[in-house]
Amino acid sequence: MPSLRNTGRQARLLLRSMSTLTRTSVGVLCLILLLLLVGPSLSPYSYSAPVGDVWEGMSWQHPLGTDVLGRDMLTRIMKGGRLTVMLAFLATLLGFLLGTFFGFMSALVGRWVDILLSRIVEIIMAFPSLILALIVLALIDVSKGILIVIIAVLDSTRVYRLSRSLAQDIVVMPYVETARLRGEKLGWLMRREILPNVLPPMLAEFGLRFGFAILFLSALSFLGLGIQPPEADWGSMVKENALSLPVALVPAAAIALTTICVNIIVDWLLARAARVRSATPEV
Amino acid sequence: MGQPNKDNDLVLDIAGLSIVSLHQHGAQPLLKGLTLRLRRGEILGLIGESGAGKSTLGLAALGYQRTGCKYDKGVVRFDNLLLHSGDEKTLSSLRGVRMAYVAQSAAAAFNPVHRLGAQITEAARCQAALSRREAERRMVSLFRRFDLPEPERFGDRFPHQASGGQLQRAMIVMAMLCEPQLIVFDEPTTALDVTTQIEVLATIKRNIRAHSATSALYITHDLAVVAQVADRIMVLKDGMLVEENDTKALLTKPQRPYTKELLSVYQVGRKRGGGKKKGRGVLLRGEGLDASYGDGARILEDVSFGVSEYEVLGVVGESGSGKSTLARVVTGLLPSREGSLWLGGEVLPRRLKRRSKEQLRRVQLVSQIPDTALNPRQKIGEALGRPLSYFFPQRTQAERERRLGELLSSCELDSRLTNAFPAELSGGQKQRVCIARALAAEPDIIVCDEITSALDRLIAKGIVNLMLELQEKLGMAYIFISHDLGLVRAISDDMMVMQGGKILSYGAASGIEKSEDAYTQKLLRSVPQMRVGWLDEVLQKRG
């Protein structure tokens, strides 16, 4: 199939346009995701039952040692990472859907809709997001769904600002006016006229926010307001093992490695989007 | 350095010059072995369409290449100095003192936060060519010669305190301050209105031509303009010379077909299609229209007009006349504050949102810049297909496909373009797609807002002819908005002249000469004519 071959060639070209650092990051991130996906089912140990002594060092049986209750660290890292990455991804996705929708709407409709939405967003942004999340989580029972929604809403404020300012440059273009003259509805204007034109910077922002969401979720769990035992994510694992620094560093390193890789890839995406934009002739 | 030049009169001697532009995919030639000689006191016109290499040549004459461009081979000799191999220090000691450049947009070339006087005398002071006092003295005397207001104090103004035409003249003052041997004019009047253009042209003509020590290269795409100032004209195309001759000979006896084409760009006309289709009643009518942006000043004041079926209403005005605002009011993009619109007997709501789908379909807009009128991320097939499926949902897929093919062929576009993105098309092709998109709605009236002004003259002529053919075939009406009075007069039935949001004269296009309005008369006189001596006549009449 020619389209498949084309995709393959494009992927090769894309890889070649990256620096070694970016390529390494892509490789490491893929490896992490693969481990999270299949790792837990390949592991001989249960993630919840003790299999050895408390805080055993690294060994062939337990490559990353054991944790505060003597559970296998590697298995828990893989299992907990699955939860961290999945929740962060869903939260970012929801945040983007919300932020982009309202951002585009603000730019398209303008007037009081824009004023109202922008003021609401500013009010939310006026609170430090961690403190706001802590207040909300202290008031209601924590569940994964609630966690996703809270992170998504806090994230969406940043997405709103970005998508609104990007869309404001697009809505004044004659091609959007032409579509309006045709009588096109808001949905078409958002999906077909604006979205394709702002996709590269939005994708880069998605990566960035995903990295932040991992950190945010980990922070909440570390403070005990995120994922609750018996379930575990990277943040709560840092907390459990906080009394032994070397052990606590293992989940912390997982958090750092993942977010750094994501950030490097985002940097490359952003630079690429900027190059594409400066290469298009100015009118 | 080569042998001293025997011809002492030769200021600029360019031989076999080639310049390439650097791309990811290798070098592309911009100039292909061009030869040019400029004698003392001579004005040489360089004419061609975009991409002809005329600006590249003009900058090369100053020993400069834009970023992305690279010198390939050939010789640029300026008064026995070799510029193409000169080091940057020597070159910059020449620039502004012995040679100078006048850019297209003076408004963009002046730094908005510095006073004009400081900017005008800057080069002379930096090169220590003149003392500060001497530079200022000369500047004031040039201001006076150029008819700038308050010559003693004009230099104290900031750029925003001067008009576009004044800035362009100030830039010529800057170029002439050190009495250079060579001035390169790069489209100095293209961004100006016709009435302002005359003032700048007159300044150039009076002062450069009278000044025998200064030679000039005059770059433009408008043959009628260059014919007024140049002694000799070189016609360029794709980086090569097409024809070179004395101005008069070139205008009266062009040798090459391309030159003849360039000469014919003003000759657009319309076969008046007899009376049978015409006069079937008023299609679109506007009465007492007032409009403004936000709470600002009124852009349109009490504008009334009527367009019959199969009629072309021409709207002429200079920048700021409100002609584009009229297009926005008619299409509903900007609701008018006062007044009303009727479409075929029924009231056309002022707001876009209130208009029915049928009303939206019947009034279509084609806008000025085709690059921004097409969504860069939509293929041509989608841009044209959407109005088809939107306005005619009852049609089958096969019918729409057929209609799409019809639209492309009637706008003289290749049917394979449906899979192309706008960036793959030329400017003329993009404008044709925009026209096809308007036609897809099968409108009764198309509002054409400066549809030719972003295009080269030859391409613009093709677009206008296409519009006229389409009207012949399909019989819709046009509101044709343009700053080009000659063009509007040639193709309109009725026309109106606007200034400051008001209609100054309105009537049959054939009778516009008889208008009693002074501004209309001034505008009529200001349209460049393709013959030597037109400018002199205009200036003489003014006295």
Q: B42-75 pLDDT, tens per residue?
A: 899 999 887 788 888 888 888 888 877 888 888 8
CA B498/CA B504 separation, integer angstroms = 6
Chain B positions touching A175 (Cβ under 8 A) are 372-375
Backbone phi, psi, residue B10, to 5°: -80, 115
Q: Do B332 and A181 touch (CB under 8 A)?
A: yes
Q: Do A174 and B372 touch (CB under 8 A)?
A: yes
CA A17/CA A24 separation, integer angstroms = 13
Q: Do B367 and A177 touch (CB under 8 A)?
A: yes
Q: Do A183 and B377 touch (CB under 8 A)?
A: no
Q: Do A175 and B391 touch (CB under 8 A)?
A: no
CA A265/CA A203 separation, integer angstroms = 11
- For residue B363, give how far its alpha carbon lies from the nearest alpha carbon of chain A (Å): 9
What the block records as the tokens of B24 is 């990811």
CA B488/CA B498 separation, integer angstroms = 13
In this predicted structure, what is the pLDDT of residue B270? 63
First CA to last CA distance, chain A: 39
Does residue B5 register a pLDDT over 50?
no
| Cis, peptide link before residue B387, omega less than 30° from 0 | no
Compare CB distances from A283 to B331, B365, B371 and report the shortest one's residue: B371
CA distances to A80, A147, B69, B180, B509 from A221, rounded to whole Å, are 11, 10, 57, 75, 78
The residue of chain B with its CA nearest to that of A181 is B360
Does residue B273 register a pLDDT over 60?
no
Compare CB distances from A181 to B352, B369, B372 and report the shortest one's residue: B352
B278 band by pLDDT with thresholds 50, 70 and 90:
low
Mean pLDDT value of segment B410-424 = 87
- For residue A274, give how far its alpha carbon lies from the nearest alpha carbon of chain B (Å): 16
Q: Which contacts (CB < 8 Å, 24+ apart) does range B85-91 have?
A: B91/B62, B91/B63, B91/B64
ipTM above 0.95, yes or no: no
Q: Which residues contact B362 (CB under 8 A, 6 or more apart)?
A: B343, B344, B441, B443, B444, B445
- Given CB atoms, is A54 within the 8 Å cutoff of chain B? no
Q: A226-282 pLDDT, tens per residue?
A: 888 778 888 888 888 878 778 788 888 888 999 999 989 888 888 877 765 554 433
- Given CB atoms, is A187 within the 8 Å cutoff of chain B? no
Mean pLDDT value of segment B384-403 = 90
Per-residue H/E/C for B51-80: CCCHHHHHHHCCCCCCCCEEEEEEEEEECC
Compare CB distances from B352 to A175, A180, A281 and report the shortest one's residue: A180
Per-residue H/E/C for B381-405: HHHHHHHHHHHCCCCCHHHHHHHHH
In this predicted structure, what is the pLDDT of residue A251? 86
pTM value > 0.90: no
Q: A78-113 pLDDT, tens per residue?
A: 888 888 899 999 999 999 999 999 999 999 998 899
Q: What is the DSSP letter of B95?
A: B
Q: Do B365 and A181 touch (CB under 8 A)?
A: yes
Q: A118-139 pLDDT, tens per residue?
A: 999 999 999 888 888 888 888 8
Chain A positions touching B375 (Cβ under 8 A) are 173, 175-176, 192-193, 196-197
Q: A130-185 pLDDT, tens per residue?
A: 888 888 888 888 888 888 999 999 999 999 999 999 999 999 899 999 999 998 98
